[in-house]
Amino acid sequence: MKSIYPLIIAAVAATSASAETPLYLNPDAPIEDRVEDALSRMTLEEKVALCHAQSKFSSAGVPRLGIPELWMSDGPHGVRPEINWNDWGHARWTNDSCTAFPALTALAATWNPALSAAYGKNVGEEARYREKDVLLGPGVNIYRTPLNGRNFEYMGEDPWLASVMVVPYVQELQKNGVAACVKHFALNNQERWRGNINVDVSDRALYEIYLPAFKAAVQQGGAWTVMGAYNKVWNQHCCHNQRLLEDILRGEWGFDGAVITDWGGAHDTREAALNGLDIEMGSFTNGLTSESEFTYDDYYLARPFLELIRKGEVPESTADDKARRILRLIFRTAMNTRKPFGSLHSPEHYAAAKAIGDESIVLLKNSGILPLDPAAGKRILVVGDNATRVLTNGGGSSELKVKDYISPLDGITAVFGADNVDYARGYAAGPPMYDRDEPVPASVQDSLRAEAVALAAGADVVIYVGGLNKNAFQDCEGQDRTGYGLPFGQDELIEALVKANPNIVIANISGNAYAMPWADRVPAILHSSYLGTMGGASIADVLAGRVNPSGKLPYSIPVRLEDCAAHSFGVDSYPGVESESGDVLFGVCAPQQRYEEDLLVGYRWHDTKKVPARYAFGHGLSYTAFAYGKPVLSAKEMTAEGDKLTVTVPVTNTGSREGAEVVQLYIGDDKASVLRPVKELKGFEKVTLAPGETRDVTFTVTPEMLAFFDAGAHAWRTEPGTFTLYLGGSSAFTPAKAKFKLK
């Protein structure tokens, strides 16, 4: 925990020779004036010292001037337990537990920006209480392949959804005086070979798919920091990539914050000095486990940077520019005297986590078995390792040490009664591990399966809680999944359970899509991401009907892996080609990768190529039903010069209970001069309706929503023609349609 006393003493010493308080210490002065005043008092050595780590999770301030250090913590689902000063071991504090909020895939599945704001506010309060200045999140990399080990940390496959959801998170987080660090910029869409894979992507795909959420976080959210990605783009590492950091982030978007490396993401002093990197963290480690003999003074932006300046090979202005941005960050966070005190795992935080979890659960299928009536007294058998596993452990840097954790079995038992609930593990998944996947002996799995199947035959209902976990090669930083199916023989187990008892509810937990070969043979499927501290209560309340499910998929679930666009072009597209030798995290190989699917990511591929998904992007059922009426346009034509029109669609709850529907607006260009998807998400609104209630939902359509990126002109362009508006409950269910012309 940081102490303010050394800072007070240093500040007094720095000002004792003057009758007036220096401008930079005046909290009422404009930040830019304070930055320039502080900079004018600093030595070159002090400027350079700001630019690199001094420990695993802190960077230096200017002690002589009373300017404090910066403390960072992994996120974005909660504040990571304390790590030792100079190694990756846990510090074993007793006061660093936290609230585990649902994963960002779960947040995206709510399709509710108000809950994103609540998320940012509450996790920011915990970070502030723990005296963190920078929370390393949120993540907004696009879901390109269901094999990506870190998809659970991101906000799905669509740039519009991710853009809308990231802004309130950033805004509310930073009201606590804690900087958001939006990551991983950019194109960090897989973990395999993440440290050195070189991505080749078209400018259209870059600007239309992979950059919009980052741009929204910067320009609308006002993010104070951005984290560079591990990978290369255009043969240059992202953490010191001239085009990404200087041309786009600062030049085109006007970003005034600091760029921080991912841990171990810097590779070259000259590039780091000249290409926009500000704070270098974790160099000469793999960002997770390995250590090195290098000291912090050996970092690329430490002594080597200072020597380049002294030799005249790099101008001192580069250090000035970095110091300005870092000082600006310090004044916004560590030296912000008006920030609130924060709080830790409070009832309000638990309530926010529960609300997000409630709205994130997606009901994929229901033949009528759900909801289950707790008063019916039925014998319930819960099967599955995830029913009891603490799913906040493992996963890499997103690990959390929770004060409380309600497992699915805990939640189900509390709602349905201990006398009515039995449990069988069904399969073994092994302990959480970052870098290896320990096989479980077949004899153990066979025994667990036989026990579960035998008990299932005597139950009234089976609730299966399996899926993925945070082990290596699942939903885990550092590795991608090795296959699309469920691990540990779960598909075979589910098939055997269905034969023993057809009254089965699949309630799997996963941060990714996965194969469901049994989908046609089970009566109900719930899809949850990692829901954190209150997750078991959310799952149980949805099963019992206390909460009417309203989550919608933030990514498509293909039938087969080959139906996913990234996997339709061979190894050139995923995972890339070249030698596979080297460390699993940061290998010595130099693989090359081409995003062959270009714009057609997720539902854009399924729609345009007519490859149906098993469950479409935006899909999610309710315990009630909704009907869409005929949409009404405010005009049949619009011009490209600042014009706009509105479309209004009536939505009716035709069922017998209150429920929420996410009304989704997609727009398609009927005939274009370039390849365009059949339709693209351009708006959504979540509305809660009583039985029989009808509400008009209105969207505004602007010319900007119709534009595509013209790579040749490096500009957004619209073309005249006819456009179709698609309105409905998923990308595959858009019963309300209307057309208009752009003149």
Active site residues: 262
Q: Which helix or strand (DSSP H or E) is residue 708 part of?
A: strand 708-710
Give residue 260's identity as a one-letter amino acid code. Answer: I
3-class SS at 180? strand
For the chain, the maximum distance between any two Cα atoms, rounded to a whole number of angstroms, is 85
The type of residue at 17 is: A
Q: Using CA atoms, how far apart are residues 561 and 717, in angstroms rounded to an integer?
A: 34
CB 45 within 8 A of CB 63: no
On whether the CB atoms of residues 740 and 720 are closer than 8 A, the answer is no
Q: Using CA atoms, how far apart are residues 560 and 519, in angstroms rounded to an integer?
A: 13
Assign 3-class secondary structure to 490-534.
HHHHHHHHHHHCCCEEEEEECCCCCCCCCHHHCCEEEEECCCHHH
Distance between CA atoms of residues 598 and 605, nearest Å: 10
Q: Which helix (H) or strand (E) holds 606?
A: helix 603-608
Q: Is 362 helix (H, G, I), strand (E, B) or coil?
A: strand
Closest CA to 263 of 125, 3, 29, 83: 83
Counting every residue, how long is the chain? 743
Element (H, E) at 695: strand 694-701
- Convert 628-659 into a string of H (helix), E (strand) and C (coil): ECCCEECCCEECCCCCCEEEEEEEEECCCCCE
Tell me how far the alpha carbon of residue 269 is from its chain's centroid.
Answer: 30
Using CA atoms, how far residue 647 sits from 456, 666, 689, 696, in Å, is: 51, 12, 20, 10
DSSP structure class, residue 210:
I
Closest CA to 140 of 167, 113, 120: 167
One-letter identity of residue 90: H
CA distances 246 to 32, 241, 256, 278, Å, are 20, 8, 11, 12
Q: Can you point out the beta strands (E) in 117-178? A: 134-136
How far apart CA 148 and CA 154 sit, in angstroms, is 11
Query: What are the strands of the beta sheet with 225-228, ordered from one edge?
Result: 58-59, 70-74, 134-136, 179-185, 225-228, 258-260
Burial of 51 (0-12, 13-18, 19+ CB in 10 A): buried
Tokens for 85, please give them.
């000063």
Q: How many CB atoms lie within 10 A of CB 730?
A: 21
Tell me the CA distances in angstroms from 391 to 104, 398, 446, 533, one per residue in order.
14, 11, 24, 9
CB 622, CB 658: distance < 8 Å: no
Q: Which residues contact 60 (CB under 8 A, 6 or more apart)?
A: 49, 50, 52, 54, 69
CA distances, 198 to each of 10, 568, 581 (Å): 46, 19, 16
Q: Cβ atoms within 10 A of the Cβ of 446, count?
A: 12
Rounded Cα distance, 600 and 201, in Å: 12
Return the structure tokens found at 703.
């010319």
